[in-house]
Amino acid sequence: MNKTENQMLVIFGASGDLTARKLVPALFNLYVAKQLPEHFIVLGASRSNMTDAEFRSKVVLESTYLKDRLKDLKPEYIDAFASKFFYEDLGGAYDLDYAPLRKRVGDLNDSNGTEGNIMYYLSTPPTLYETIAKNLAEAGLSTQNNGWKRMIVEKPFGYDLETAKALNKGLQTHFKEHQIYRIDHYLGKETVQNLLVTRFANSIFEPLWNRNYIHHVEITNAESVGVEKRGGYYDSSGALRDMFQNHLLQIVSLIVMEPPIGDQPEEIRNEKVKALKSLRIMKDYKTLHDHTIRAQYVGAEINGETMKGYREEDGVAKDSLTETYAAIKFFVDNWRWKDVPFYVRTAKRMPTKVTEVVIHFKSPHHQIFQDTGMHNKDNKLIIRIQPDEGILVKFGVKVPGQGFKVERANLDFYYSSLTETHVMQAYERLLLDAMQGDATLYARADEVEAAWEFVNPILDYWKNGKDVCMYGYASGVWGPENADELIDGIGFWRNPGPNLTDDPGFCVLT
Ligand code: BG6
Protein backbone atom coordinates (compact mmCIF):
# COMPACT_ATOMS: atom_id res chain seq x y z
CA MET A 1 0.00 0.00 0.00
CA ASN A 2 1.30 3.48 -0.86
CA LYS A 3 2.07 5.92 1.92
CA THR A 4 -0.26 8.84 2.53
CA GLU A 5 1.69 11.74 3.96
CA ASN A 6 0.35 14.09 6.59
CA GLN A 7 -1.61 16.83 4.87
CA MET A 8 -4.35 19.43 4.83
CA LEU A 9 -7.25 19.43 2.38
CA VAL A 10 -8.52 22.91 1.56
CA ILE A 11 -11.91 22.80 -0.16
CA PHE A 12 -12.99 25.92 -2.06
CA GLY A 13 -16.76 26.06 -2.39
CA ALA A 14 -17.06 23.96 0.76
CA SER A 15 -20.57 25.15 1.56
CA GLY A 16 -21.82 23.68 -1.74
CA ASP A 17 -23.57 20.37 -2.22
CA LEU A 18 -20.59 18.36 -3.51
CA THR A 19 -18.68 18.67 -0.23
CA ALA A 20 -21.45 17.24 1.91
CA ARG A 21 -22.74 14.78 -0.71
CA LYS A 22 -19.53 13.29 -2.07
CA LEU A 23 -16.31 14.54 -0.51
CA VAL A 24 -17.05 14.20 3.20
CA PRO A 25 -18.64 10.71 2.86
CA ALA A 26 -15.56 9.67 0.85
CA LEU A 27 -13.29 11.02 3.60
CA PHE A 28 -15.41 9.27 6.18
CA ASN A 29 -14.92 5.94 4.39
CA LEU A 30 -11.18 6.57 4.37
CA TYR A 31 -11.34 7.37 8.08
CA VAL A 32 -13.18 4.13 8.85
CA ALA A 33 -10.73 2.17 6.69
CA LYS A 34 -7.84 3.84 8.59
CA GLN A 35 -6.54 5.25 5.33
CA LEU A 36 -6.24 8.86 6.47
CA PRO A 37 -2.76 9.90 7.58
CA GLU A 38 -2.13 10.46 11.28
CA HIS A 39 -2.16 14.23 10.86
CA PHE A 40 -4.95 15.21 8.51
CA ILE A 41 -7.38 18.12 8.55
CA VAL A 42 -9.90 19.69 6.21
CA LEU A 43 -10.29 23.44 5.86
CA GLY A 44 -13.50 24.44 4.13
CA ALA A 45 -13.26 27.81 2.41
CA SER A 46 -16.25 29.52 0.93
CA ARG A 47 -18.27 32.71 0.75
CA SER A 48 -20.78 31.73 3.43
CA ASN A 49 -20.35 32.92 6.95
CA MET A 50 -19.91 29.85 9.16
CA THR A 51 -17.95 28.87 12.25
CA ASP A 52 -15.91 25.68 12.52
CA ALA A 53 -18.69 24.20 14.66
CA GLU A 54 -21.39 25.08 12.13
CA PHE A 55 -19.34 23.59 9.32
CA ARG A 56 -18.80 20.35 11.28
CA SER A 57 -22.47 20.18 11.95
CA LYS A 58 -23.42 20.79 8.33
CA VAL A 59 -21.08 18.34 6.65
CA VAL A 60 -20.65 15.69 9.35
CA LEU A 61 -22.83 15.67 12.45
CA GLU A 62 -26.13 16.72 10.88
CA SER A 63 -25.40 15.66 7.32
CA THR A 64 -28.18 13.72 5.65
CA TYR A 65 -25.53 12.03 3.52
CA LEU A 66 -23.83 10.52 6.58
CA LYS A 67 -26.83 9.91 8.80
CA ASP A 68 -27.11 6.18 8.15
CA ARG A 69 -23.39 5.62 8.49
CA LEU A 70 -23.17 7.41 11.83
CA LYS A 71 -26.21 6.05 13.58
CA ASP A 72 -24.65 3.10 15.39
CA LEU A 73 -21.23 4.59 16.01
CA LYS A 74 -19.79 5.83 19.29
CA PRO A 75 -19.95 9.63 19.76
CA GLU A 76 -16.18 9.81 20.51
CA TYR A 77 -15.44 8.07 17.23
CA ILE A 78 -17.64 10.48 15.28
CA ASP A 79 -16.27 13.52 17.13
CA ALA A 80 -12.71 12.48 16.37
CA PHE A 81 -13.64 12.63 12.69
CA ALA A 82 -15.64 15.88 12.95
CA SER A 83 -12.80 17.59 14.83
CA LYS A 84 -10.66 17.36 11.70
CA PHE A 85 -12.90 19.94 10.01
CA PHE A 86 -12.34 23.71 10.07
CA TYR A 87 -13.88 26.58 8.18
CA GLU A 88 -12.64 29.88 6.78
CA ASP A 89 -15.04 32.51 5.49
CA LEU A 90 -13.49 34.02 2.40
CA GLY A 91 -15.55 37.15 2.86
CA GLY A 92 -18.08 37.40 0.08
CA ALA A 93 -15.84 36.71 -2.94
CA TYR A 94 -13.12 34.40 -4.19
CA ASP A 95 -11.25 37.23 -5.84
CA LEU A 96 -9.81 38.77 -2.70
CA ASP A 97 -6.43 38.97 -1.10
CA TYR A 98 -5.70 35.51 0.34
CA ALA A 99 -3.50 36.86 3.17
CA PRO A 100 -6.10 35.94 5.84
CA LEU A 101 -6.42 32.49 4.27
CA ARG A 102 -2.65 32.10 4.28
CA LYS A 103 -2.55 33.03 7.96
CA ARG A 104 -5.26 30.48 8.79
CA VAL A 105 -3.59 27.76 6.74
CA GLY A 106 -0.26 28.51 8.44
CA ASP A 107 -1.75 28.40 11.95
CA LEU A 108 -3.65 25.18 11.29
CA ASN A 109 -0.59 23.61 9.74
CA ASP A 110 1.51 24.47 12.81
CA SER A 111 -1.02 23.24 15.32
CA ASN A 112 -1.95 20.04 13.44
CA GLY A 113 1.35 18.74 12.11
CA THR A 114 0.33 18.65 8.44
CA GLU A 115 3.90 19.37 7.35
CA GLY A 116 3.09 22.03 4.75
CA ASN A 117 1.46 19.50 2.41
CA ILE A 118 -1.71 20.99 0.98
CA MET A 119 -4.31 19.65 -1.41
CA TYR A 120 -6.63 22.33 -2.81
CA TYR A 121 -9.99 21.09 -4.02
CA LEU A 122 -11.82 23.49 -6.32
CA SER A 123 -15.51 22.80 -6.01
CA THR A 124 -16.59 26.18 -7.32
CA PRO A 125 -17.94 27.28 -10.69
CA PRO A 126 -15.12 26.74 -13.23
CA THR A 127 -15.05 30.45 -14.05
CA LEU A 128 -13.32 30.88 -10.68
CA TYR A 129 -10.60 28.27 -11.14
CA GLU A 130 -8.02 30.56 -12.62
CA THR A 131 -8.74 33.34 -10.14
CA ILE A 132 -8.31 30.99 -7.21
CA ALA A 133 -5.10 29.52 -8.65
CA LYS A 134 -3.71 33.02 -9.21
CA ASN A 135 -4.63 34.25 -5.74
CA LEU A 136 -3.11 31.17 -4.14
CA ALA A 137 0.10 31.65 -6.10
CA GLU A 138 0.27 35.35 -5.24
CA ALA A 139 -0.21 34.55 -1.56
CA GLY A 140 2.72 32.12 -1.76
CA LEU A 141 0.41 29.17 -1.27
CA SER A 142 1.51 27.22 -4.35
CA THR A 143 5.24 26.95 -3.70
CA GLN A 144 6.54 23.53 -2.89
CA ASN A 145 9.64 24.39 -0.87
CA ASN A 146 7.89 23.60 2.41
CA GLY A 147 5.74 20.59 1.54
CA TRP A 148 3.90 19.72 -1.68
CA LYS A 149 0.91 21.61 -3.06
CA ARG A 150 -1.63 19.94 -5.35
CA MET A 151 -4.86 21.15 -6.87
CA ILE A 152 -7.89 19.04 -7.77
CA VAL A 153 -10.35 20.61 -10.21
CA GLU A 154 -13.84 19.40 -10.97
CA LYS A 155 -15.32 19.23 -14.44
CA PRO A 156 -16.29 20.95 -16.68
CA PHE A 157 -12.76 21.64 -17.90
CA GLY A 158 -13.76 24.27 -20.37
CA TYR A 159 -16.87 24.84 -22.43
CA ASP A 160 -15.25 24.01 -25.75
CA LEU A 161 -11.75 23.52 -27.15
CA GLU A 162 -10.80 27.16 -26.96
CA THR A 163 -11.93 27.71 -23.38
CA ALA A 164 -10.37 24.41 -22.30
CA LYS A 165 -7.03 25.51 -23.72
CA ALA A 166 -7.35 28.89 -22.04
CA LEU A 167 -8.21 27.24 -18.72
CA ASN A 168 -5.27 24.84 -18.94
CA LYS A 169 -2.94 27.68 -19.80
CA GLY A 170 -4.35 29.82 -16.98
CA LEU A 171 -3.93 27.09 -14.38
CA GLN A 172 -0.48 26.19 -15.63
CA THR A 173 0.64 29.79 -15.16
CA HIS A 174 0.24 29.40 -11.42
CA PHE A 175 0.62 25.66 -10.82
CA LYS A 176 2.77 23.13 -12.66
CA GLU A 177 0.93 20.49 -14.69
CA HIS A 178 2.07 17.75 -12.30
CA GLN A 179 0.39 19.64 -9.45
CA ILE A 180 -2.99 19.75 -11.26
CA TYR A 181 -5.40 16.84 -10.86
CA ARG A 182 -8.49 16.98 -13.14
CA ILE A 183 -11.04 14.71 -11.57
CA ASP A 184 -13.38 12.57 -13.65
CA HIS A 185 -15.38 10.46 -11.25
CA TYR A 186 -15.97 7.74 -13.87
CA LEU A 187 -12.28 6.90 -13.69
CA GLY A 188 -12.75 6.24 -9.99
CA LYS A 189 -15.27 3.51 -10.71
CA GLU A 190 -13.78 0.04 -10.23
CA THR A 191 -15.48 -1.27 -13.33
CA VAL A 192 -13.99 1.46 -15.51
CA GLN A 193 -10.52 0.67 -14.22
CA ASN A 194 -11.27 -2.98 -14.79
CA LEU A 195 -11.39 -2.28 -18.52
CA LEU A 196 -7.61 -2.03 -18.33
CA VAL A 197 -7.29 -5.23 -16.34
CA THR A 198 -9.70 -7.18 -18.53
CA ARG A 199 -7.69 -6.22 -21.57
CA PHE A 200 -4.14 -6.31 -20.33
CA ALA A 201 -4.09 -8.93 -17.57
CA ASN A 202 -5.66 -11.68 -19.68
CA SER A 203 -4.38 -13.34 -22.76
CA ILE A 204 -7.81 -14.39 -24.02
CA PHE A 205 -9.27 -10.97 -24.91
CA GLU A 206 -6.43 -8.89 -26.29
CA PRO A 207 -5.69 -11.10 -29.32
CA LEU A 208 -9.31 -10.56 -30.39
CA TRP A 209 -9.37 -6.84 -29.54
CA ASN A 210 -9.09 -5.48 -33.05
CA ARG A 211 -10.75 -5.05 -36.44
CA ASN A 212 -10.21 -8.68 -37.36
CA TYR A 213 -12.64 -9.91 -34.74
CA ILE A 214 -14.66 -6.96 -33.51
CA HIS A 215 -17.62 -5.90 -35.60
CA HIS A 216 -18.64 -2.81 -33.66
CA VAL A 217 -18.50 -1.31 -30.20
CA GLU A 218 -21.51 0.07 -28.41
CA ILE A 219 -21.54 2.16 -25.24
CA THR A 220 -24.72 3.14 -23.45
CA ASN A 221 -24.98 5.55 -20.59
CA ALA A 222 -28.56 5.98 -19.47
CA GLU A 223 -30.03 7.73 -16.48
CA SER A 224 -33.63 7.52 -15.39
CA VAL A 225 -33.52 10.90 -13.68
CA GLY A 226 -34.02 14.18 -15.50
CA VAL A 227 -31.95 17.26 -14.87
CA GLU A 228 -33.21 17.43 -11.27
CA LYS A 229 -32.30 20.74 -9.61
CA ARG A 230 -29.51 21.50 -12.06
CA GLY A 231 -31.59 22.89 -14.92
CA GLY A 232 -29.70 26.18 -14.98
CA TYR A 233 -26.32 24.53 -15.30
CA TYR A 234 -27.52 21.79 -17.62
CA ASP A 235 -29.23 24.11 -20.06
CA SER A 236 -25.94 25.77 -20.87
CA SER A 237 -24.22 22.41 -21.04
CA GLY A 238 -26.20 19.52 -22.54
CA ALA A 239 -25.51 15.81 -22.74
CA LEU A 240 -22.49 16.12 -25.02
CA ARG A 241 -20.60 18.43 -22.69
CA ASP A 242 -21.96 17.01 -19.46
CA MET A 243 -21.26 13.31 -20.08
CA PHE A 244 -19.80 12.55 -23.49
CA GLN A 245 -16.78 14.87 -23.65
CA ASN A 246 -15.47 13.63 -20.34
CA HIS A 247 -16.83 10.40 -18.80
CA LEU A 248 -17.69 8.59 -22.02
CA LEU A 249 -14.62 9.57 -23.97
CA GLN A 250 -12.56 8.42 -20.99
CA ILE A 251 -14.22 5.02 -21.32
CA VAL A 252 -13.63 5.10 -25.08
CA SER A 253 -9.95 5.85 -24.55
CA LEU A 254 -9.56 2.78 -22.34
CA ILE A 255 -11.19 0.58 -24.97
CA VAL A 256 -9.25 2.05 -27.86
CA MET A 257 -5.79 2.47 -26.33
CA GLU A 258 -2.76 0.36 -27.12
CA PRO A 259 -1.11 -1.62 -24.32
CA PRO A 260 0.97 0.73 -22.16
CA ILE A 261 4.51 -0.35 -21.38
CA GLY A 262 3.77 -0.38 -17.66
CA ASP A 263 1.31 0.80 -15.04
CA GLN A 264 2.94 4.13 -14.24
CA PRO A 265 0.66 7.19 -14.55
CA GLU A 266 2.45 8.72 -17.53
CA GLU A 267 2.69 5.41 -19.35
CA ILE A 268 -1.05 4.92 -19.15
CA ARG A 269 -1.92 8.57 -19.79
CA ASN A 270 0.32 8.72 -22.87
CA GLU A 271 -1.57 5.83 -24.43
CA LYS A 272 -4.94 7.38 -23.58
CA VAL A 273 -3.99 10.64 -25.26
CA LYS A 274 -2.83 8.75 -28.33
CA ALA A 275 -6.16 6.91 -28.40
CA LEU A 276 -8.17 10.12 -28.18
CA LYS A 277 -6.09 11.69 -30.89
CA SER A 278 -6.86 8.79 -33.18
CA LEU A 279 -10.64 9.36 -33.12
CA ARG A 280 -11.64 10.53 -36.57
CA ILE A 281 -12.80 14.12 -36.29
CA MET A 282 -16.00 14.71 -38.22
CA LYS A 283 -15.52 17.62 -40.54
CA ASP A 284 -18.17 17.65 -43.22
CA TYR A 285 -21.86 18.34 -42.74
CA LYS A 286 -22.95 15.05 -44.24
CA THR A 287 -20.96 12.99 -41.75
CA LEU A 288 -22.07 15.20 -38.89
CA HIS A 289 -25.65 14.85 -40.05
CA ASP A 290 -25.53 11.09 -40.56
CA HIS A 291 -23.46 10.24 -37.49
CA THR A 292 -25.02 12.31 -34.75
CA ILE A 293 -28.47 12.42 -33.18
CA ARG A 294 -29.62 14.80 -30.51
CA ALA A 295 -32.91 14.84 -28.69
CA GLN A 296 -34.77 16.22 -25.71
CA TYR A 297 -37.16 14.48 -23.32
CA VAL A 298 -40.76 15.57 -23.28
CA GLY A 299 -43.32 15.08 -20.52
CA ALA A 300 -44.93 11.70 -19.95
CA GLU A 301 -46.61 9.67 -17.29
CA ILE A 302 -44.52 6.86 -15.82
CA ASN A 303 -46.14 4.42 -13.44
CA GLY A 304 -48.86 6.95 -12.66
CA GLU A 305 -46.38 9.74 -12.02
CA THR A 306 -46.32 12.77 -14.27
CA MET A 307 -42.82 13.62 -15.50
CA LYS A 308 -42.05 17.11 -16.68
CA GLY A 309 -40.64 17.66 -20.11
CA TYR A 310 -37.14 19.14 -20.27
CA ARG A 311 -38.38 22.58 -21.28
CA GLU A 312 -40.67 22.67 -18.24
CA GLU A 313 -37.81 22.04 -15.79
CA ASP A 314 -36.71 24.87 -13.49
CA GLY A 315 -33.89 26.91 -14.92
CA VAL A 316 -34.44 25.65 -18.49
CA ALA A 317 -35.39 28.05 -21.28
CA LYS A 318 -38.87 27.44 -22.70
CA ASP A 319 -37.45 27.26 -26.21
CA SER A 320 -34.24 25.48 -25.19
CA LEU A 321 -32.27 23.64 -27.85
CA THR A 322 -30.07 21.82 -25.37
CA GLU A 323 -29.89 18.07 -25.86
CA THR A 324 -30.65 15.60 -23.08
CA TYR A 325 -29.92 12.71 -25.45
CA ALA A 326 -26.85 12.42 -27.63
CA ALA A 327 -25.87 9.48 -29.83
CA ILE A 328 -22.68 9.55 -31.84
CA LYS A 329 -21.20 7.17 -34.37
CA PHE A 330 -17.51 7.46 -35.10
CA PHE A 331 -14.42 5.67 -36.36
CA VAL A 332 -10.92 5.38 -35.03
CA ASP A 333 -8.12 6.04 -37.47
CA ASN A 334 -5.45 3.58 -36.56
CA TRP A 335 -4.18 0.14 -37.45
CA ARG A 336 -6.17 -1.68 -34.77
CA TRP A 337 -9.57 -0.12 -35.33
CA LYS A 338 -9.81 0.74 -39.02
CA ASP A 339 -13.46 0.57 -40.21
CA VAL A 340 -14.86 -0.57 -36.85
CA PRO A 341 -17.79 1.69 -35.98
CA PHE A 342 -18.21 2.92 -32.42
CA TYR A 343 -21.70 3.87 -31.22
CA VAL A 344 -21.92 5.88 -28.04
CA ARG A 345 -25.06 7.33 -26.51
CA THR A 346 -25.89 9.13 -23.30
CA ALA A 347 -29.24 10.39 -22.08
CA LYS A 348 -31.43 11.40 -19.22
CA ARG A 349 -34.97 10.14 -18.51
CA MET A 350 -34.37 6.70 -19.95
CA PRO A 351 -36.22 3.59 -18.74
CA THR A 352 -33.44 2.71 -16.29
CA LYS A 353 -30.02 3.80 -15.01
CA VAL A 354 -27.30 1.80 -16.68
CA THR A 355 -23.84 2.19 -18.17
CA GLU A 356 -22.34 -0.60 -20.21
CA VAL A 357 -19.85 -1.32 -22.95
CA VAL A 358 -20.72 -3.98 -25.49
CA ILE A 359 -18.05 -5.45 -27.72
CA HIS A 360 -19.87 -7.09 -30.62
CA PHE A 361 -17.76 -9.74 -32.29
CA LYS A 362 -17.95 -10.70 -35.95
CA SER A 363 -19.83 -13.80 -37.02
CA PRO A 364 -17.66 -16.83 -37.72
CA HIS A 365 -16.39 -16.39 -41.28
CA HIS A 366 -17.56 -19.81 -42.35
CA GLN A 367 -20.97 -20.76 -41.01
CA ILE A 368 -21.29 -24.49 -40.51
CA PHE A 369 -24.50 -24.46 -38.55
CA GLN A 370 -27.32 -22.91 -40.49
CA ASP A 371 -29.82 -22.94 -37.69
CA THR A 372 -28.16 -20.33 -35.50
CA GLY A 373 -31.25 -18.92 -33.92
CA MET A 374 -32.30 -15.36 -34.16
CA HIS A 375 -30.68 -12.31 -35.66
CA ASN A 376 -28.16 -10.35 -33.56
CA LYS A 377 -26.87 -13.31 -31.64
CA ASP A 378 -23.20 -13.05 -32.35
CA ASN A 379 -20.66 -13.26 -29.57
CA LYS A 380 -20.70 -10.30 -27.27
CA LEU A 381 -18.58 -9.19 -24.37
CA ILE A 382 -20.63 -6.97 -22.10
CA ILE A 383 -18.78 -4.93 -19.54
CA ARG A 384 -21.23 -3.55 -17.06
CA ILE A 385 -20.00 -0.32 -15.48
CA GLN A 386 -23.13 0.13 -13.33
CA PRO A 387 -25.36 -1.13 -11.76
CA ASP A 388 -25.09 -4.89 -11.19
CA GLU A 389 -21.41 -4.46 -12.02
CA GLY A 390 -19.85 -7.36 -13.83
CA ILE A 391 -18.85 -8.95 -17.10
CA LEU A 392 -20.89 -11.15 -19.38
CA VAL A 393 -19.79 -13.19 -22.36
CA LYS A 394 -22.46 -14.38 -24.75
CA PHE A 395 -21.47 -17.46 -26.66
CA GLY A 396 -23.12 -20.17 -28.70
CA VAL A 397 -24.16 -23.52 -27.25
CA LYS A 398 -25.94 -26.43 -28.81
CA VAL A 399 -29.60 -26.78 -28.04
CA PRO A 400 -30.10 -30.37 -26.81
CA GLY A 401 -31.77 -32.59 -29.33
CA GLN A 402 -31.35 -33.56 -32.93
CA GLY A 403 -29.35 -31.50 -35.37
CA PHE A 404 -27.22 -28.48 -34.52
CA LYS A 405 -29.45 -25.74 -33.35
CA VAL A 406 -27.40 -23.03 -31.68
CA GLU A 407 -28.52 -20.75 -28.87
CA ARG A 408 -26.67 -18.04 -26.96
CA ALA A 409 -25.67 -18.77 -23.38
CA ASN A 410 -24.21 -16.46 -20.74
CA LEU A 411 -20.93 -16.71 -18.91
CA ASP A 412 -21.05 -14.11 -16.19
CA PHE A 413 -19.01 -12.57 -13.39
CA TYR A 414 -20.41 -10.19 -10.76
CA TYR A 415 -18.41 -7.82 -8.61
CA SER A 416 -20.85 -8.50 -5.80
CA SER A 417 -19.44 -12.02 -5.62
CA LEU A 418 -16.20 -10.58 -4.27
CA THR A 419 -17.86 -10.27 -0.89
CA GLU A 420 -14.73 -9.91 1.18
CA THR A 421 -13.48 -6.95 -0.74
CA HIS A 422 -14.55 -3.44 0.09
CA VAL A 423 -15.25 -1.77 -3.25
CA MET A 424 -14.23 1.85 -2.86
CA GLN A 425 -16.56 4.59 -4.03
CA ALA A 426 -15.26 6.68 -6.92
CA TYR A 427 -14.51 9.81 -4.89
CA GLU A 428 -12.93 7.79 -2.10
CA ARG A 429 -10.52 6.11 -4.49
CA LEU A 430 -9.70 9.28 -6.40
CA LEU A 431 -9.15 11.39 -3.29
CA LEU A 432 -6.83 8.79 -1.83
CA ASP A 433 -4.87 8.57 -5.08
CA ALA A 434 -4.39 12.34 -5.21
CA MET A 435 -3.43 12.40 -1.52
CA GLN A 436 -0.71 9.91 -2.41
CA GLY A 437 0.35 11.82 -5.51
CA ASP A 438 -0.87 9.20 -7.97
CA ALA A 439 -2.35 10.90 -11.04
CA THR A 440 -3.07 7.76 -13.10
CA LEU A 441 -6.81 8.21 -12.85
CA TYR A 442 -6.81 11.96 -13.41
CA ALA A 443 -7.07 13.61 -16.81
CA ARG A 444 -4.01 15.40 -18.17
CA ALA A 445 -4.30 18.72 -20.01
CA ASP A 446 -3.56 17.22 -23.43
CA GLU A 447 -6.09 14.45 -22.81
CA VAL A 448 -8.84 16.95 -22.09
CA GLU A 449 -7.92 18.99 -25.14
CA ALA A 450 -7.86 15.93 -27.40
CA ALA A 451 -11.38 15.08 -26.23
CA TRP A 452 -12.56 18.62 -27.00
CA GLU A 453 -10.94 18.47 -30.47
CA PHE A 454 -13.27 15.60 -31.26
CA VAL A 455 -16.37 17.11 -29.67
CA ASN A 456 -15.99 20.68 -30.92
CA PRO A 457 -17.15 20.15 -34.53
CA ILE A 458 -20.26 18.33 -33.29
CA LEU A 459 -21.13 21.18 -30.94
CA ASP A 460 -20.51 23.60 -33.72
CA TYR A 461 -22.70 21.70 -36.14
CA TRP A 462 -25.52 21.36 -33.62
CA LYS A 463 -25.36 25.06 -32.94
CA ASN A 464 -24.83 26.50 -36.38
CA GLY A 465 -25.65 23.76 -38.88
CA LYS A 466 -28.65 24.12 -41.16
CA ASP A 467 -31.63 21.82 -40.63
CA VAL A 468 -30.22 20.11 -37.55
CA CYS A 469 -33.09 18.30 -35.91
CA MET A 470 -33.80 18.28 -32.23
CA TYR A 471 -35.92 15.18 -31.78
CA GLY A 472 -38.25 14.61 -28.88
CA TYR A 473 -38.67 11.44 -26.86
CA ALA A 474 -41.18 10.66 -24.17
CA SER A 475 -39.63 10.41 -20.72
CA GLY A 476 -39.08 6.75 -19.91
CA VAL A 477 -38.36 5.42 -23.41
CA TRP A 478 -35.03 4.64 -25.10
CA GLY A 479 -34.66 7.92 -26.94
CA PRO A 480 -36.20 9.23 -30.15
CA GLU A 481 -37.89 6.91 -32.60
CA ASN A 482 -35.15 7.24 -35.16
CA ALA A 483 -32.34 6.37 -32.69
CA ASP A 484 -31.70 3.08 -34.49
CA GLU A 485 -31.06 4.87 -37.78
CA LEU A 486 -27.55 5.56 -36.58
CA ILE A 487 -26.80 1.85 -36.55
CA ASP A 488 -28.49 1.27 -39.84
CA GLY A 489 -27.38 -1.92 -41.50
CA ILE A 490 -26.14 -3.38 -38.23
CA GLY A 491 -29.29 -3.62 -36.24
CA PHE A 492 -30.35 -1.71 -33.21
CA TRP A 493 -29.14 -0.53 -29.83
CA ARG A 494 -29.01 -3.15 -27.12
CA ASN A 495 -31.39 -1.62 -24.63
CA PRO A 496 -30.14 -3.09 -21.38
CA GLY A 497 -32.10 -3.68 -18.21
CA PRO A 498 -31.05 -3.05 -14.62
CA ASN A 499 -29.55 -6.54 -14.36
CA LEU A 500 -26.53 -7.66 -16.32
CA THR A 501 -28.25 -10.74 -17.75
CA ASP A 502 -31.52 -9.00 -18.68
CA ASP A 503 -32.33 -9.55 -22.27
CA PRO A 504 -32.40 -6.40 -24.35
CA GLY A 505 -35.55 -4.43 -24.93
CA PHE A 506 -36.10 -3.31 -21.37
CA CYS A 507 -38.91 -0.83 -21.14
CA VAL A 508 -41.23 0.68 -18.59
CA LEU A 509 -44.93 0.19 -19.11
CA THR A 510 -46.93 3.24 -18.19
C1 BG6 B 1 -22.09 13.97 -13.72
C2 BG6 B 1 -23.06 14.71 -14.58
O3 BG6 B 1 -20.78 14.24 -14.10
O4 BG6 B 1 -22.34 12.57 -13.82
C5 BG6 B 1 -24.49 14.38 -14.21
O6 BG6 B 1 -22.84 16.10 -14.46
C7 BG6 B 1 -24.72 12.89 -14.20
O8 BG6 B 1 -25.42 15.02 -15.07
C9 BG6 B 1 -23.63 12.19 -13.39
O10 BG6 B 1 -25.98 12.65 -13.62
C11 BG6 B 1 -23.75 10.69 -13.55
O12 BG6 B 1 -22.86 10.04 -12.69
P13 BG6 B 1 -23.12 8.54 -12.21
O14 BG6 B 1 -21.89 8.18 -11.45
O15 BG6 B 1 -24.36 8.57 -11.37
O16 BG6 B 1 -23.32 7.74 -13.45
Catalytic residue among 174, 185, 247, 360: 247
Domains of the chain, residue spans: 7-154, 187-486
Catalytic residue check, 247: yes
Domains 7-154 and 187-486 share a fold: no
Ligand 1 binding pocket mutation candidate from 21, 189, 223, 234 (most atoms within 8 A of CB): 223
What does the pLDDT average to over 83-112?
A: 90
Render pLDDT for 196-205 as a digit per residue (tens, 0 to 9). 999 999 999 9
The model's pTM is 0.93
Distance 137 CA to ligand 1 centre (A): 32
Render pLDDT for 384-398 as a digit per residue (tens, 0 to 9). 998 888 999 988 888
Work out the number of other CB atoms within 10 angstroms of the CB of residue 404.
12
Render pLDDT for 227-237 as a digit per residue (tens, 0 to 9). 988 999 999 99
Closest CA to 442 of 32, 21, 121: 121
Amino acid at 94: Y
Q: Is the pLDDT of residue 373 over 70?
A: no
Ligand 1 binding pocket mutation candidate from 159, 187, 247, 313 (most atoms within 8 A of CB): 247
- DSSP secondary structure of 394-448: EEEEEPSSSS--EEEEEEEEEGGG-TTSPPPPHHHHHHHHHHTT--TTSB-HHHH
Euclidean distance between CA atoms 57 and 23, whole angstroms: 15
Contact 36, 28 (CB under 8 A): no
pLDDT of residue 109: 96
Q: Is the pLDDT of residue 417 over 90?
A: no
Closest protein CA for atom 15 of ligand 1 = 223
Distance 228 CA to ligand 1 centre (A): 11
CATH code of the region 7-154: 3.40.50.720
pLDDT of residue 301: 87
Q: Which atom of ligand 1 is nearest to the CA of 230?
A: 8
pLDDT of residue 510: 44
Euclidean distance between CA atoms 460 and 458, whole angstroms: 5
What does the pLDDT average to over 25-32?
A: 96
By percentage, how much of the chain surpasses pLDDT 90? 74
Render pLDDT for 207-263 as a digit per residue (tens, 0 to 9). 999 999 999 999 999 999 999 889 999 999 999 999 999 999 999 999 999 999 999
Provide the mean pLDDT of the chain: 91
Closest protein CA for atom 14 of ligand 1 = 186
What residue spans of 292-373 are helical by DSSP H? none
75: exposed, middle or buried (C-beta count within 10 Å: 0-12, 13-18, 19+)? exposed
Closest protein CA for atom 2 of ligand 1 = 242
Closest CA to 451 of 190, 172, 164, 225: 164
> In this predicted model, which residue has the larger pLDDT, 407 or 81?
81
CATH code of the region 187-486: 3.30.360.10
Q: Which atom of ligand 1 is nearest to the CA of 386?
A: 16
Render pLDDT for 418-476 as a digit per residue (tens, 0 to 9). 867 777 889 999 999 999 999 999 999 999 999 999 999 999 999 999 889 999 999 99
Q: Is the pLDDT of residue 496 over 90?
A: no
Q: Which of 98-112, 229-243, 252-266, 398-412 is predicted with the least confidence, judged by mean pLDDT? A: 398-412
Q: In angstroms, what CA-CA distances link 108 with 33, 42, 115, 145? A: 25, 10, 10, 18
By percentage, how much of the chain surpasses pLDDT 70? 97
pLDDT of residue 506: 58
Closest protein CA for atom 9 of ligand 1 = 243
Q: Which residues line ligand 1 (CB under 6 A)?
A: 185, 223, 242-243
